[in-house]
Amino acid sequence: MICDNISVNSKGHLTFAGFDTVELAEKYGTPLYLMDENKIREHVRTYKNAMAEYLPEGSIPEFASKAFSCKQIYRIMAEEGIDIDTVSCGEIFTAVQADFPMEGCFFHGNNKTDADIRFAMENKVGFFVADNGEELLAINKIAGELGIKQNVLLRVTPGIDPHTHKKISTGSVESKFGVAIETGQAKELTEKLLRLENINLKGFHCHIGSQIFESEPFITASKIMLEFIADIKASFGFVSEILNLGGGFGVRYTEADPVINYAEKIREVADALNKLCGELNLTCPKIHMEPGRSLVADAGMTLYTVGSVKEIKGYKNYVSIDGGMADNPRYTLYESPYTVITASKADQKADFVATVAGRCCESGDLIQEDVALAKPDRGDILAVLTTGAYNYSMASNYNRIARPPVVMLKDGADYIAVKRETLADVCGLDI
Ligand code: LLP
């Protein structure tokens, strides 16, 4: 199996975090998001411990909560003692509701409105990751009105392309995020920003992309960022306290993806950082990283019930499920690969090749094309693996479909973290 929290029991049912998935589907109904809390905590500790061991004191991961946001995940991150990355008032509000210590909250986004900025400051967000000049002026003005000095990191683009999917690659010069080093604009803006009296510049941020399995793109980014930091120090005497390298380490969606040892990759990046700092005669800043999917993706699984099994003779087979792009839009958006298993027949041969189709009124509503499954019948349970990141957080009410619940599994106990939406919820805001 692609992850060690998945197995098959004596009934031939798929198990997840030690639970019989068919029993969970019966208990909670489908579609159903499952999250393995121990797996989340295991990943968080791997990052936290490796960063503490190999990087300067104060180096810490931030959970990129766009990957999975609900109150319970912020409580887990608070208990584990790591920081969070948020990108909207909605994520900030959720974290506040969960009593997350907001000094460990970083506020991202390429277009924060004045209202967003004020809301974040009023909620005591620790750091803004500023994207552009207009935003910096607005932060300075609003901080002045509120009588505070706001900690800020400046997001810069290191100008590298880690060769992932175009829509999830963000570090190149022409990206909509950040300000480019290559064009000289990042340096110019830093000079201006150092004169803004209500801003406390703490360092720089970059994010190169997602689903990266090698340390090499992070090392290249580190080199560019440290050279920039050295240039800023030489030019303006500013010493960068923090360097945030963003998120992006990959996860195994299918057997074709490599197995990745995060601690080992962090050590490789740390070795390179230490060497580069020596060469540039810099004290290594505190390093922050922003893992999203690598903390939660393989801690998640989605269960569906099979409806029709359609064999179009000589053409194609379809297995239709009671969910789809409304709860997982990733195949529709990015043609993302997934592992799909007939959970109620997990001990049977996977020799029926079919396209798993959702129930939205849209032919692109597919979860996966031409995958080999144990042939299901109506009523069988289908499991889609590695759905803990960017599934619940990207779910919609398209076709007025109610969102599934999130059930957490921990040490043999199951509990609801997010309730199933009702039809009343779906039209709850309608007048
Ligand atoms: N930090 C920043 C500034 C980011 O923009 C992102 C992701 C992350 C951290 C976390 O990246 P991760 O470790 O999760 O790869 N919806 C897409 C992913 C968009 C990612 C956007 N930014 C997907 O479903 O694959």
Q: Stretch 272-287: mean pLDDT, rounded?
A: 97
Q: Which of 43, 47, 66 to mutate to test the pocket of ligand 1 (most atoms within 8 A of CB)?
A: 66
Kindly give the distance from the C-alpha atom of residue 86 to the centroid of ligand 1, in angstroms, as a whole number.
11
Q: Stretch 48-72: mean pLDDT, rounded?
A: 98
Confidence of residue 170 (pLDDT cuts 50, 70, 90): low
Q: Stretch 409-427: mean pLDDT, rounded?
A: 98
Burial bucket for residue 382 (CB in 10 Å: 0-12, 13-18, 19+): buried
Asked if pLDDT for residue 345 goes beyond 60, the answer is yes
Dump the DSSP string for 267-302.
HHHHHHHHHHHHHHT-PPPEEEE--SHHHHGGGEEE
Give the 3-state secondary structure of residue 264.
helix
329 lines ligand 1 (CB under 6 A): no
Q: What is the pLDDT of residues 207-232, one digit of tens each?
A: 999 999 999 999 999 999 999 999 99
Kindly give the distance from the C-alpha atom of residue 87 to the centroid of ligand 1, in angstroms, as a whole number.
11
**Taking the model in full, what pTM does it have?**
0.97
Q: Is residue 31 reached through a cis peptide bond, with omega within 30 degrees of 0 on the bond before it?
A: yes
d(CA 184, CA 211): 29
Confidence of residue 160 (pLDDT cuts 50, 70, 90): confident
Catalytic residue among 3, 360, 361, 427: 361
3 given a catalytic annotation: no
Q: Are 284 and 273 in contact (CB under 8 A)?
A: yes
171 lines ligand 1 (CB under 6 A): no
Phi, psi of 176 (to 5 degrees): -75, -10
Q: What is the average pLDDT value for the chain, to the nearest integer?
A: 96
Asked if pLDDT for residue 57 goes beyond 80, the answer is yes
Give the 3-state secondary structure of residue 184.
coil
Q: Stretch 360-388: mean pLDDT, rounded?
A: 98
Kindly give the distance from the C-alpha atom of residue 170 to the centroid of ligand 1, in angstroms, as a whole number.
9
Do β-strands 32-36 and 60-64 pair in parallel, antiparallel, or remain unpaired? Answer: unpaired
d(CA 177, CA 381): 41
Instruction: Identify each DSSP E strand in 108-252 by its residue range.
Output: 127-130, 150-157, 179-180, 199-205, 242-244
Long-range residue pairs from 422-427, CB within 8 A, at least 24 positions apart, any chain: 426/397, 426/400, 426/401, 426/402, 427/400
Dump the DSSP string for 371-393.
EEEPPP-TT-EEEEES-SSSSGG
Q: Domains in the chain, start-ordered, CATH in brackets?
A: 6-30+297-426 (2.40.37.10), 37-291 (3.20.20.10)
Q: What is the pLDDT of residues 290-321, one digit of tens each?
A: 999 999 999 999 999 999 999 999 999 999 99
Q: What is the CA radius of gyration of the chain?
A: 23
